[in-house]
Amino acid sequence: MKFKRLAEYFNQIEGVSKRLEIFDIVAELFNESRAEDIDKIVYFCQETLLPPFHGVELGLSSKYMIRAISDAAHTPTKDVEASFNDLGDLGLVAEKLVDKDGGLSVLQVYEELLRVAEESGKGSTSRKIELVVSLFNGLSPLETRYVTRFILGKLRLGIGDPTMLEALAHVEASRSNNVPLSAIPSQSLKKDDKLETFNNLDKIPEILDIARELTEDYFGDKSPKEDVYQNRLASNYFKSLLELRRSIREPLERAYNICSDLGLIAKTFKESGLDAIRDFKINVAYPIRMALCERLSSGEEILRKISALEAANLTLDEDTSITRFEKIAIEVKYDGMRCQVHKNGTDVQIFSRNLERMTHMFPEIVEATRSLEAETIIFEGEALAYDEVTGDLLPFQATMQRRRKHNVKNMAKEIPLKLFAFDLLYLDGQDFTMKSYENRHGILADLLNKSTQGVIEVSVTSIVNDPEEIEQIFNSYIEKGLEGIIAKRLDAPYIAGARNFNWIKLKPSYKSELADSIDVCVIGYYAGKGKRAQFGLGAVLGALYDPDTGTFKSVSKIGTGFTEDDLKQYYTILSKIKLDGKPSHVESDMVPDVWVKPKYVLTVTADEITRSKMHTAGRDNEGRGYALRFPRAEGLPRMDKSATDATTVKEIIDMEARQNKTKSG
């Protein structure tokens, strides 16, 4: 595919705002893409050259891109800066000033950008600029717009991974049925705006009504329209298409979750088909997307959920013995950095929760892992700083000081770490994710107890089926300064990338109506006023993540809880990712002074969850979303979390329900 064609698709996406319209365009793009191009196209859509665990960055700021545009356009730097001040978008500036002929392929543009990223050492910035200028000489104005934005990390297309996975399934479902791509409901949804109807397979009458109206569009003169009009063929047809798309989506998502490389998945799918995706295997050094916890507010609730007693409508009273609860595992919830450790022979790689490579930061964990009696292994744990004299675990802030690129050896001596391992995912060629937690944890404990030089320990685990015992364990950990507990189903597999009730966390209630903290993704900031004017920033706008749509939805403006140093650091951090307008995958009626790329997660506490028409998270038919009453920031962004690790809309709905239940007694 020519890069000009990809730029035209991006231009189409930029011109629409509805999620379904974006979906249709992405599906058409993937349908047109060839196997040799599609991985690169996926990376361009993700605004990255390679998945984050490769650590590849282009490393050019606006300042240097102005120089590149100036050189390519043979225009004085001051004129480029003037255009930038006028247009507010260097992509538009490049499009206006750099008037060359296009013709490069997607692969050629990708490889040139990879060369830019690979330049390092003395004089690398000048060499990067020269490479960009050379690339611009082979691009048309429209192509230059999107390459410039891509280099700056400001593509702003808002194409989330869920959208791309669904689009891949959409294309395959269409091909498998030998019908035009538009024959699957997405096009009708664009016309009729009835997403819920098509997503709910029980609403056959509504589907049939829409099908009658749109059959001409779907089938033309080559299909049995009369049959569709006169009987349930239409409803069955659409139902089968939806079921087919879902059956394709599930293995695609599973494959992505065990390798974290959507480009690789798309390429494998295009080249080798669905069978290759179903057979996709874990690869050491490709991080597995981490399983996540749900949350409940008591030991009894946890046992009810895991034991499925709630579904049977049983209550815990004098006539119901607690021995009817299933046994569950209770682990300590440490407040550290979650790590996924990969070993292949002597090579060890460590990945963070947001899939970034952290190997060089933790030399003691690397050495301890090398001593394991396993040729290949993938396991997870929580890394925490500790006091070598007392053995006490240190606060999260101390642990985060180990997250650095320089002076690592000295810092390792000053702030030593321990890794508390809690799950085994892969061992000597065998995938353990589908085995039970009890089996995984037992084998991991046996392996680690043999030799890890005391650096890696197995997380403390208790097996219980008594709500009172859970509360006792919970209280004992809180008294020791730990964060809480995590309850786990003994028979549950490890579901990569999923948040479900196989794992349930319980943390202490804050002195407020809200029983837990919330992680919001920062989507914008407000300029400081009064005393805060000197810091450049006075408040931030936070959003929740909606994994079903791949969007971020506003929930709160946060201006309390920041120290002066926090405000300065937030301004520095956020200024580097500011955008010229609202990203298409952000839904917010509130407009901050500056929009930013959804990237950083901020932990927030509040008095309670309320309903408000000012915010879009969980918005109902009356236009009321969820909001936070008296929100307070808890320090700096969680660098160990990515934007999609933010609290989800579903979680806030569940939290409000528990809050209201607590209020009512």
- DSSP for 350-400? EEETTS-B-GGG-HHHHHHHHTSS-SEEEEEEEEEEB-TTT-PBPPHHHHH
Distance CA 553, CA 585 (A): 9
Other CB atoms within 10 A of residue 464 CB: 19
Distance CA 328, CA 463 (A): 6
CB 471 within 8 A of CB 299: yes
Give me the CATH number covering residue 420: 3.30.470.30
The reported pLDDT for the residue numbered 26 is 94
Distance CA 452, CA 588 (A): 49
CB 512 within 8 A of CB 575: no
Nearest to 464 by CA among 443, 445, 447, 487: 487
Give me the CATH number covering residue 534: 2.40.50.140
Residue 214 forms part of a structural domain: no
- Structural domain tally of the chain? 3
Give me the CATH number covering residue 105: 1.10.3260.10
φ, ψ (nearest 5 deg) of residue 80: -65, -45
Nearest to 261 by CA among 291, 288, 292, 290: 288
Question: Do 121 and 99 lie in a common domain?
Answer: yes
Residue 580 is given by DSSP the state S
Question: Do 545 and 476 lie in a common domain?
Answer: no
The DSSP bridge partners found for residue 338 are: 382
Q: Token digits for 623?
A: 């236009």
Question: Do 436 and 559 lie in a common domain?
Answer: no
Distance CA 382, CA 378 (A): 14
Q: Which residues in 82-108 are b (16+ Cβ under 10 Å) and which e?
A: ebbeeeebbbbbbbbbbebebebbbee
Question: Do 395 and 330 lie in a common domain?
Answer: yes
Mind giving me the DSSP string for 449-490? Answer: TT-STTTEEEPPEEEE--HHHHHHHHHHHHHTT--EEEEEET
303 burial class (0-12, 13-18, 19+ CB within 10 angstroms)? buried
Residue 311 is given by DSSP the state T
Q: Which of 102, 136, 152 is the last residue of a domain?
A: 152
Q: Token digits for 235?
A: 């409803």
Query: First and final CA of the chain: distance in angstroms?
Result: 62
Question: Do 367 and 464 lie in a common domain?
Answer: yes
Distance CA 258, CA 290 (A): 9
3-state SS, 485-548, equals EEEEECCCCCCCCCEEEEEEEECCCCCCCCCCCEEEEEEEEECCCHHHHHHCCCEEEEEEEECC
Q: Token digits for 35?
A: 């196997």
Question: Do 67 and 141 lie in a common domain?
Answer: yes
Question: Do 583 and 454 lie in a common domain?
Answer: no
Other CB atoms within 10 A of residue 279 CB: 11
CA quadruple 438, 444, 447, 449: dihedral sign:
negative
Q: What is the mean pLDDT of each run of 10 residues along the chain (665 residues)?
A: 97 87 91 96 96 91 94 94 92 93 93 95 94 95 96 89 92 69 46 39 46 47 45 56 84 97 97 96 96 87 75 40 72 92 97 92 93 96 90 84 79 90 97 96 92 83 91 88 90 92 78 66 92 88 91 94 90 90 90 94 90 92 90 87 90 83 61
Residue 272 forms part of a structural domain: no
CB 372 within 8 A of CB 447: yes
Question: Do 491 and 566 lie in a common domain?
Answer: no
The reported pLDDT for the residue numbered 315 is 41
Residue 359 forms part of a structural domain: yes
Distance CA 352, CA 359 (A): 9
3-state secondary structure of 608: strand
Residue 221, C-beta contacts closer than 8 angstroms, at least 6 positions apart: none
The reported pLDDT for the residue numbered 399 is 85
Question: Do 589 and 550 lie in a common domain?
Answer: yes
- The residue whose two tokens read 């049939």 is 208
Residue 177 forms part of a structural domain: no
For residue 421, the enclosing domain spans 322-506
CB 520 within 8 A of CB 542: yes
Distance CA 153, CA 205 (A): 46
Q: Token digits for 529?
A: 């006023």
Distance CA 93, CA 144 (A): 9
pTM across the whole model:
0.81
φ, ψ (nearest 5 deg) of residue 603: -80, 130
Residue 640 forms part of a structural domain: yes
Residue 353, C-beta contacts closer than 8 angstroms, at least 6 positions apart: 290, 337, 338, 640, 641, 642, 645
Question: Do 522 and 406 lie in a common domain?
Answer: no
CB 444 within 8 A of CB 460: no
Distance CA 260, CA 282 (A): 10
3-state secondary structure of 260: coil
Distance CA 205, CA 211 (A): 10
Distance CA 386, CA 481 (A): 13
Q: Which residues are catalytic?
A: 333
Q: Which of 446, 480, 506 is the last residue of a domain?
A: 506
The reported pLDDT for the residue numbered 235 is 53
Q: Which of 123, 152, 181 is the last residue of a domain?
A: 152
- CA angle centred on 219, ends 213 and 222, rounded to 5°: 135
Question: Do 540 and 466 lie in a common domain?
Answer: no
Helix (H) or strand (E) holding 605: strand 601-605
Q: Which residues in 42-76 are b (16+ Cβ under 10 Å) and which e?
A: bbbbbbbbbbbbeebebebeeebbbbbbbbbbebe
Residue 603 forms part of a structural domain: yes
CA quadruple 135, 140, 141, 145: dihedral sign:
negative
Residue 476 forms part of a structural domain: yes
CB 378 within 8 A of CB 425: yes
Residue 168 forms part of a structural domain: no
Question: Do 424 and 330 lie in a common domain?
Answer: yes
